[in-house]
A = this chain, B = another copy of it.
Amino acid sequence: MVKVFERPKSLTEKPFHYCPGCTHGIIHRLVAETIDELGIRETTIGVGPVGCSVFIYEYMDLDFHQASHGRAPAVATGVKRVHPDKTVFVYQGDGDLAAIGTAEIVHAAARGERITVIFVNNAIYGMTGGQMAPTTLVGMETTTSPFGRNKETQGSPVRVSEMLSTLDGAAYVARVSVHDPKHVIQAKKAIRKAFDNQMNGVGFSLVEVLSTCPTNWGLHPIEATKWLADNMIPYYPLGEFKVPTAPAKVEGEVE
């Protein structure tokens, strides 16, 4: 007998504190699997956000930085500049990355920082009690859009992957989902590519992962995955928005 599926080595034994059915856990696992596959646990440094995944450093058996809300890409920039030979990745929620951290992610991408960003879009502020995020769909009820997000007064959801794809510095940008096993497998591939790029010295890579928040969506976990498929994917189409065009540059090479 061989194990065809087991707990990745890069995860600690600590149980996740996430709510039942929250897909943050799946995404953590995919990152850990990727790090295991690449054999880079000892040379990878993670940067975590403020959000439900704030404790990611307890779950991953890696060196980690706990960054201030929204600033993980700037922290990762500091880390990567000191350790250009290490793999540096960032894990951020949509409030963290797409609201308060907009400037930091845009400019990390524009600079082509050689980091990998895992961007968990669950269309809500999970940790603080289900407030509207920049990614909240129009009409969606949250604690700060109790009558449903009103496009006229509260604006339209930001499509982060599309926005960042306009930047020359962004080498790889993809949107995936984890609402069913097939998509989980695709998500894993995208995450793998995003790490591969960094190791090849290619610039900034970001994978946007559509994720559920059963608690704040007020849905059973299974309903939540359906809701994601039915409502989020139409507005947030899946796919690769940008793939590296030029052959990978050797670190430090300058045009």
Contact = CB atoms under 8 A, between A and B. Distances in A.
A44 interface: no
Interface string A138-161: 100000000000111111111100
A220 interface: no
Copies, count: 2
A85 to B, nearest CB: 16
B112 A156 contact: yes
B112 A252 contact: no
| Among A102, A134, A155, residue most surrounded by chain B Cβ atoms (within 10 Å) | A155
A152 B107 contact: no
A243 interface: no
A1 interface: no
Interface stretch (A26-34, A163-171, A181-189): A163-171
Contacts of A165: 166
Interface string A162-206: 110111110000000000000000000000000000000000000
| Among A150, A151, A152, A166, residue most surrounded by chain B Cβ atoms (within 10 Å) | A152
Contacts of A153: 111, 254
A235 to B, nearest CB: 9
A7 interface: no
Contacts of A255: 138, 151-152
A34 B153 CA distance: 27
Interface of A: 99-103, 106-107, 110-113, 134, 138, 150-159, 162-163, 165-169, 249, 252-255
20 contacts: A99-B103, A99-B107, A101-B103, A102-B107, A106-B106, A106-B163, A107-B134, A110-B155, A110-B157, A151-B255, A152-B252, A153-B254, A155-B169, A157-B168, A159-B167, A162-B166, A163-B163, A163-B166, A165-B166, A166-B166
